[in-house]
Amino acid sequence: MPIYEYRCRECRERFEVTAHLAERDKLAVCPKCHGKKVELVISSFTCAAPRKY
């Protein structure tokens, strides 16, 4: 399953959620303050290795 990284807008806690796309928003709850005001962090640089063409 894909891992999504979230950041809480209340306490700025960063956490990861492993879920399918359909269950993603349902499981995206801050583990620290249990807030649901979270935003998805797009980690597009995870596998951004330099590529030569």
Q: Is 35 in the site for Zn ion (CB under 5 A)?
A: yes
Q: Determine the size of the site formed for Zn ion (CB under 5 A).
A: 8
Whether 5 contacts 41, CB under 8 Å: yes
Whether 29 contacts 19, CB under 8 Å: no
Whether 33 contacts 13, CB under 8 Å: yes
Q: Which of 33, 36, 39, 43 binds Zn ion (CB under 5 A)?
A: 33
Give least dist CB 50 to Zn ion, A: 35
- Binding residues (CB under 5 A) for Zn ion: these are 8, 10-11, 13, 30, 32-33, 35
